[in-house]
């Protein structure tokens, strides 16, 4: 795969036993933050796909059928920032849940999202949020393409 993205394989059975069929797309341009987010989600049983830019994320969203949640930074390099990515995702795949992360979240954001977190992210709260947004009964369905 490309340098900025890689698929995280499901964790072996045990502590990180995979709970979900649906994947979480983590979009973050800072490599260490992206890796840490993906690692925490994988350890909690989720399939994770990573992208470094909004452009990469659009390609993945258009080609991968099992994405159930988009976790994206707001500020990213390239043609598509997190707000544009969230707006595009909401218009193309309205069933995908959207969680924004950023160093600053401003009131009146021009995007409809399901949750937002400021950096540094508290992983316990993030995992609780993901569990609410992707309940096990819905985890086996695709986003309707």
Residue spans per domain, the chain? 19-134
Q: CA 121 to CA 125: how far, in whole Å?
A: 8
Q: Are strands 67-73 and 97-102 parallel, antiparallel or unpaired?
A: parallel
Fold (CATH) for 19-134: Rossmann fold (3.40.50)
Any idea what the Cα angle at residue 78 is, between residues 76 and 81, rounded to 5°?
A: 45
Q: Is the pTM of this model over 0.85?
A: no
The per-residue pLDDT for range 31-41, each reduced to its tens digit, is 999 999 999 99
Q: CA 37 to CA 17: how far, in whole Å?
A: 17
The per-residue pLDDT for range 83-129, each reduced to its tens digit, is 999 999 999 999 999 999 988 766 655 667 899 998 889 999 999 99
The DSSP 8-state label assigned to residue 12 in this structure reads: P
Written as six digits, the tokens of 9 are 């394989």
For the chain, the helix, strand and coil percentages under 3-state DSSP, each to the nearest 5: 35, 20, 45
Written as six digits, the tokens of 33 are 């933050």
Q: Span 71-94, mean pLDDT?
A: 94
Please state, as a whole number, how many other Cβ atoms lie within 10 Å of the Cβ of residue 20: 23
């Amino acid at each position: 795969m490309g340098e900025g993205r890689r698929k995280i394989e499901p964790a072996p059975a045990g502590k990180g036993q995979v709970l979900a069929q649906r994947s979480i797309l983590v979009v973050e341009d800072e490599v260490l933050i992206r890796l840490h987010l993906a690692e925490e989600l994988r350890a909690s049983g989720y399939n994770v796909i990573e992208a470094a830019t909004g452009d990469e994320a659009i390609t993945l969203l258009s080609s991968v059928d099992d994405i159930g949640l988009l976790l994206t930074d707001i500020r990213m390099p390239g043609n598509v920032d997190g707000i544009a990515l969230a707006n595009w995702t909401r218009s193309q795949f309205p069933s995908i849940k959207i969680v924004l992360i950023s160093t600053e979240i401003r009131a009146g954001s021009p995007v409809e999202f399901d949750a937002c977190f400021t950096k540094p992210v508290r992983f316990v709260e993030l995992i609780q949020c993901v569990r609410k947004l992707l309940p096990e009964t819905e985890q086996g369905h695709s986003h309707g393409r």
